[in-house]
Amino acid sequence: MDKNHSNLINRHNMVGGQAVIEGVMMKKGDDVALAVRKEDGSVEVKKSSFKSVRKKAKVLNWPIIRGIIAFFESLVLSFKTLSASTDMLDLEDDKSKKGEKKSSASTIFIMVLSVILGLCLALVLFTIIPTYVAGFFLPKLLAEYAEAKWYGPLLSLTEGVLKVIIFIGYLAAVSLMKDIRRTFEYHGAEHKAIACFESSKDLTVKNARKCTRFHPRCGTSFMFVMILLSILVSCFIPASLGLVTRIIIKILLLPLVMGIGYEFIMFAGQNENTITKILSAPGLWMQRITTREPSDDQLEIAICAIKSAVPELYPRVDLEDYKITESDNRDHIGNVGKKYPKREPLYSLPKSKSDLFYRSAECTVTNAPIKVTTQNGEKQVNLTVKKYEPLKSIEIVAEPIEE
């Protein structure tokens, strides 16, 4: 089915996604598909519909305005998806497991409260703190230059540098958490699967593995673009205004920054040229923190989510094809603390060969058969990487070549 349609449709911007706890959500139009890997290695898919309010009035589809609407809708969908993935993984508290489910009204209240608290935290971290710190210290350090023409842009640039430092520091800090690192692996799987889909290749683990894990339409890129745009917009706010006034003006201008950022992200996703590559580069660099190389079973989840979200191209999705054993699923968040038998390699790899499989950032496996010594003598084997962490560890599985 994939081959028959590969040249008939433009797949760019057709599908968007989100990594969740032990899963991936994919969205095409109004159709949403959430695929999660359960503790026992099986896959569960939940389909739903999410209709944008932009369809109700043409004015909501005007440039800038559509970006503001899309931002808040993405927040709502994100919280709904995270809540659904938690339910599918049975990660509720004890009361919920006993059947005492929260009412729909309380669920909506909690979701709205979470969105509000999230936005407040973002305002504090990326608007109030940088503006306050720069506005408090810079006038004292450069008091005699307060009337200079370059003082205003310097103040805005200082605020922007502080925002970038806070942003990178926050991402680096959360990436140290094991559960977050695993979600970042699913994030990488989401990007690879979408890149494979948009290239019109067969949607397989082998093809997705070859695709990049960095995508110009990623939320990480959007956040970084917003930071850069906020620096530019801040240059037009007079430095002579009071600290509180500057903060209020910046908050009021945030919707404009969101709208412009959305337009750029969508344009960059549809038009790949030298200019868009240069402008998108900082956001793509940030994805080196928020995405990691996924395992094959994580790629399977992302592929399963895309196929479930695009039934016109993939009418039949057999979830049994993506099932793995619980032992192979030992890194699952629900299997933490459980004991499993140690994985034994089929063949022992000579230490002298190990350096062939290391690089500074990515892993390369030679296609040439390698001879290893076994109990039954010398064997020819193909080597594949099961799991790889740059400069940390590598797990290699050897399969005998059929004679």
Task: Measure the CA–CA gap between 252 and 287, rounded to whole angstroms.
Answer: 28
To the nearest 10°, the Cα dihedral for 136, 142, 143, 148?
-110
User: Strands 43-49, 377-389: parallel, antiparallel or unpaired by DSSP?
Assistant: unpaired
Q: Residue 152: how many CB atoms within 10 A of its CB?
A: 18
- Half-sphere exposure of residue 345: CA atoms within 13 angstroms, side-chain side: 18
| CA nearest to 272, candidates 12, 8, 97 | 12
Per-residue tokens: 286: 């940030």
Is 252 in a helix, a strand, or coil? Answer: helix
Per-residue tokens: 165: 């430092």
Is 171 in a helix, a strand, or coil? Answer: helix
Categorise residue 399: left if φ over 0, alpha if ψ from -120 to 50, beta otherwise: beta
Per-residue tokens: 318: 């057999």
- Under DSSP, the state recorded for 322 is G
pLDDT means per 10 residues in the chain (403 residues)? 49 87 93 93 93 87 91 87 86 48 54 71 87 86 77 87 90 88 93 93 92 88 86 85 88 90 83 81 89 92 95 91 87 79 52 39 43 49 53 51 48
Reduced to 3 DSSP states, what percent helix, strand and coil does the chain have, rounded to the nearest 5?
A: 55, 15, 35
Task: Measure the CA–CA gap between 363 and 295, rounded to whole angstroms.
Answer: 13
Please give the helix or strand (H or E) that residue 157 lies within, else none.
helix 151-174
- Under DSSP, the state recorded for 392 is T
Written as one letter, the residue type at 307 is K
Is 114 in a helix, a strand, or coil? Answer: helix
Categorise residue 206: left if φ over 0, alpha if ψ from -120 to 50, beta otherwise: alpha
Per-residue tokens: 176: 């140290």
pLDDT at 381: 55
Task: Measure the CA–CA gap between 188 and 177, rounded to whole angstroms.
Answer: 17
To the nearest 10°, the Cα dihedral for 157, 158, 161, 166?
-140
Task: Measure the CA–CA gap between 337 and 333, rounded to whole angstroms.
Answer: 9
Task: Measure the CA–CA gap between 250 and 255, rounded to whole angstroms.
Answer: 10
pLDDT at 344: 52
Task: Measure the CA–CA gap between 227 and 221, rounded to whole angstroms.
Answer: 10
Task: Measure the CA–CA gap between 288 and 389, rounded to whole angstroms.
Answer: 13
| CA nearest to 54, candidates 307, 262, 264, 229 | 262
Rounded to the nearest angstrom, the gap between the alpha carbon of residue 192 and the centroid of all alpha carbons in its chain is 11
pLDDT at 99: 46
Task: Measure the CA–CA gap between 250 and 231, rounded to whole angstroms.
Answer: 10
R_g of the chain computed on alpha carbons = 24
| CA nearest to 152, candidates 235, 244, 232 | 235
If you search the block for the tokens 């034994």, which residue do you land on?
Answer: 344
Q: Residue 211: how many CB atoms within 10 A of its CB?
A: 19
Per-residue tokens: 109: 């209240």
pLDDT at 3: 46
pLDDT at 379: 53
Burial of 240 (0-12, 13-18, 19+ CB in 10 A): exposed
Q: Residue 112: how many CB atoms within 10 A of its CB?
A: 12
